[in-house]
Structure 1
Amino acid sequence: MAADFFDALKLRRSIYGITKKASVPDERIESILKDALLHTPSAYNSQSARLILLLGKSHDELWDAVKDTLAKIAVSPEAFARTEKKIDGFKAGYGTVLFFEDQAVIQKLQDENPLYKDVFPGWSLNSAGMIQFVVWTSLAAEGMGASLQHYNPLIDEWVQKKTGVPAAWRLLAQMPFGVANAPAGDKSFLPVEERFKVFS
């Protein structure tokens, strides 16, 4: 049974030790992503978020492509060795969710609402952050660890060729996930009193 909302919120951490195991069937993972797309809010109900789920060979190929891309621009063998270890950790996971925002949708809203044209890109990123949070928290509630990565735009061309997505789909983040084999690290919290005010 899934955790309640705030229990799930507390479970959602950056988990880097993940395995090629899932705690739920693929169909459940797909259902989570579809529900996130349907029920995460967006400005003007634009529904500009786009998701791709990579499993199995496709998941492995993504992280091989990330590694190959970064190897070509590495500043030193030592630096790349640390990067390679990190990427291998993502590849060790069960799957990856790719998060996009459809720029054609945003451009249409800008054209139709010129008074707000300058703020639609920011609102799009607000929506993107929400759907990333929804997916991440939902995976945590189902017993899986995940982290949010940003190897775009370095891998944009590879992703476009691999998936055939429209050029208007802007890649924003990658979320490798799987059953955790290591806990999240310690997390410190600033005093809530410094971050929260009430006026009445």
Structure 2
Amino acid sequence: METNFIDLAKKRRSIYALGRNVKLSTDELTDLIKTNMKQAPTPFNNQTTRAVILFGDSHEKLWDIVINRLKQEVPDEAAFARTAAKINNFKAAFGTILFYTETKTVKEFEDNFPLYADNFQDWSEQAQGNAQYSVWTSLAENGLGANLQHYNPLIDDEVRAAFNIPASWRLRAEMDFGSIEAPAGDKEYMADDDRFLVFK
């Protein structure tokens, strides 16, 4: 039995200590991200996933937006200091991918396939999971760490204005990535008997 994919899956962890000691160029990383998203499956091949790839000042600008937005939500200075430290760890990474869903496409498929209309929102989320997992695992294959954040919808309006994002794109997650400066901790797993049913 081949286990190359499983070996790669084990490399894909939530890495929070990220840096900028990255050997791949921004063009190579952009191509890697694009290719993974193109190859990730979507229902009816409707290709609802979108991405905004941020490097350099644009990457830092995103996390400044997050910090400034959270400042409005965390009025306690001590609590905000902890929050800002966390966000600055993300800012220290090499880049960020903003994962979006094109809501116009979801609506078109709801209208064109009424029998399945109630499913296309759920399926678009499944497509997001496919795209995010594919990109994340491919980054891990290339020795890069990443983690996935969800500051949407708090930051949606500011991010849309800052990067001229189409109004029909709905932000689903933010993935910062970079060199691995410290490994992830041990991962715990629930008992197989609580998770799987197998019938032979």
Relative to the length of structure 1, the TM-score reads 0.95
2:148 corresponding residue in structure 1: 148
CA drift of 1:70 comes to: 0.4
1:168 corresponding residue in structure 2: 168
Asked whether the 8 Å contact 2:65–2:159 carries over to 1, the reply is no
The DSSP-based 3-state class of the residue aligned with 2:198 is coil
Query: Which amino acid in 2 is paired with 1:164?
Result: N
Which of structure 1's runs of 4+ aligned residues deviate more than 4 A? none
- What is the count of residue pairs matched by the alignment? 198
Distance 1:28 1:142 in 2: 11
CA drift of 1:86 comes to: 0.4
C-alpha RMSD over aligned residues: 1.3
Query: Which amino acid in 1 is paired with 2:48?
Result: S
1:93 corresponding residue in structure 2: 93
CA drift of 1:27 comes to: 2.1
2:128 corresponding residue in structure 1: 128
Distance 2:137 2:37 in 1: 14
List runs of 5+ in structure 1 lacking aligned partners. none
1:57 corresponding residue in structure 2: 57
Alignment of 1:93-112 (within 5 A): 93-112=93-112
List runs of 5+ in structure 2 lacking aligned partners. none
Relative to the length of structure 2, the TM-score reads 0.95
Asked whether the 8 Å contact 1:93–1:177 carries over to 2, the reply is yes
Identity of aligned residues (%): 42
Distance 1:192 1:23, change over 3 A: farther
Asked whether the 8 Å contact 1:144–1:180 carries over to 2, the reply is yes
Deviates more, 1:32-41 or 1:48-57: 32-41
